[in-house]
Amino acid sequence: MQGPHATAVVYRYRAFVGSGRRASIYVDDQKVCSLYSGKYIVIHITPGEHKLRGSDPKHGVMQQVFKEGFGYYFRVMVQPTSAFQMKNFWVMIPVPPATHSLS
């Protein structure tokens, strides 16, 4: 992407729960990718407010203001309903900047 942009990193932990299903990721209702367990994607986004969500437009939808030159991290995970069942949608959780440290 040329020009000013922000960066969104969406990741999915490697875990047994939901491992057989892909997590569909949408930005402004356009599908960006489907993440397998243990994978991530780096998305370049134009500055401003955007909507991020998983496969269900009624659950796990979040609005985020992206600033030029900044990086934002999100974890995607399946939404559990009980110990033995999972709903068929994914939620995105913003990761606080303090957890981004590599040291």
Q: Within the chain, how many helices (H) and strands (E) appear?
A: 0, 8
SS3 68: coil
- Reported as a single tens digit per residue, the pLDDT across 10-63 is 988 776 655 667 788 999 999 999 888 889 999 999 999 999 988 777 777 889
Specify the pTM: 0.78
User: Which residues, other chains included, contact 96 with Cβ-Cβ below 8 Å and sequence gap of 6+?
Assistant: none
Q: 63 near 8, Cβ under 8 Å?
A: no
Q: List the CATH code of the domain at 6-100.
A: 2.60.40
Two tokens, residue 89? 């949608």
* pLDDT tens, residue by residue, 60-102: 788 999 999 899 999 887 776 655 555 556 778 888 875 554 4
Q: Are strands 30-35 and 40-45 parallel, antiparallel or unpaired?
A: unpaired
| Per-domain boundaries in the chain | 6-100
